Amino acid sequence: MDERPPAVVLPPAPDGGRRVTINGRRMGTAYSLFDVLEYLHAAGLPTHDTAVDDPELIEWRGGGPYDWTDGEG
């Protein structure tokens, strides 16, 4: 299966925010894991405890769910 996950979280920006897209639609900028879960919920996607580690649900770019700095600060 060569499908991409519906949610993509981009690498942290200098302010620590990470842009989030779901199904190709920009949802906004997350500043914490809680924000990502809010975007998932708003899009009707699962937000159970293991959702953030599910590679079929979220593609984390430039760090995983616990990386919120750009590495320069």
Give, for all 73 residues of the chain, the pLDDT tens digit.
458 899 999 999 999 999 999 999 999 999 999 999 999 999 999 888 778 889 999 999 999 999 998 766 5
CB 62 within 8 A of CB 12: yes
Backbone angles phi, psi at 47, to 5 degrees: -130, 30
For 52, which DSSP code?
Answer: G
- Domain ranges in the chain? 7-60
Q: What is the pLDDT of residue 64?
A: 93
Give residue 34's Cα distance to chain centre. 10
